[in-house]
A and B are shown apart, each in its own frame.
Chain A
């Protein structure tokens, strides 16, 4: 149980284009999902908290107009990187809250912006 999928697993795009990453909870309903960014050999940096049916809460320093988050259902949240630039290249991970205290993570998406 508590499986989270993420798609795509890796994406290469040109600078200026937008990229959408999907996060799905496969066997449970997740009222809250989280989006993280992870730099090489570093810990996870929380970007935003996504609640089903409401606007996402962004962490300080994260541009909400650049990283658009939609949580349209209890099993799906999407992160769209708009007008991507090389500095947006990173590893993006989503997680979904199962129960009151535990987060389960997707396998991550490697984004490379050329």
Chain B
């Protein structure tokens, strides 16, 4: 069965600095999708970034980028120029190409220090 592991329960970073959140997953599939979702204190789940496994190029969305290492089954999220509004729980999620369900990691709480 597929699993998603986020090994960092909590991370903190100084405002304006860069932080990297880790995510590893286990699968025997070759086609799948990976996601990072953000859940701020409002508890609204917001899509941050998405990566298709067949794409070698790492996805980027403004200050958010991923380091996708397919062979290592690693999918880390880098947040550059951290802002106070980035404080939230960050969840990594996996989806098979043929299945609609998301497999979730346990989440990483990101604290931004002013």
| Chain A residues with a Cβ under 8 A of chain B | 32, 34, 38, 42-44, 46, 49, 91, 93, 95, 97, 101-105, 107-108
Interface of A is mostly: strand
Whether B106 lies near A43 (C-beta < 8 A) is: yes
Cα–Cα distance between A104 and B46 once the two chains are bound (Å): 7
- List 17 other contacts, CB 8 Å, given A34-B101, A102-B33, A107-B43: A32-B100, A34-B100, A38-B43, A42-B106, A42-B107, A43-B91, A44-B45, A46-B101, A46-B102, A49-B101, A101-B33, A101-B95, A102-B47, A103-B102, A104-B47, A105-B45, A105-B46
Whether B44 lies near A43 (C-beta < 8 A) is: no
Known: A43-B91, A43-B107. A108 touches B35 (CB 8 A): no
Whether A101 lies near B44 (C-beta < 8 A) is: no
Provide the B81-101 mask, 1 if CB < 8 A to any CB of A, else 0. 000000000010001010011
Whether A101 lies near B91 (C-beta < 8 A) is: no
Task: Jot down 24 A-B pairs with beta carbons below 8 A, ordered by A.
Answer: A32-B100, A34-B100, A38-B43, A43-B106, A43-B107, A44-B45, A44-B104, A46-B102, A49-B100, A49-B101, A91-B43, A93-B45, A95-B45, A101-B52, A101-B95, A101-B97, A102-B33, A102-B47, A103-B102, A105-B44, A105-B45, A107-B42, A107-B43, A108-B43
Cα–Cα distance between A44 and B42 once the two chains are bound (Å): 15
| Chain B residues with a Cβ under 8 A of chain A | 33, 35, 37, 42-47, 50, 52, 91, 95, 97, 100-102, 104-107
Cα–Cα distance between A38 and B37 once the two chains are bound (Å): 14
Q: Which chain B residues border A42 with CB–CB below 8 Å?
A: 106-107
Q: Which chain B residues border A105 with CB–CB below 8 Å?
A: 37, 44-46
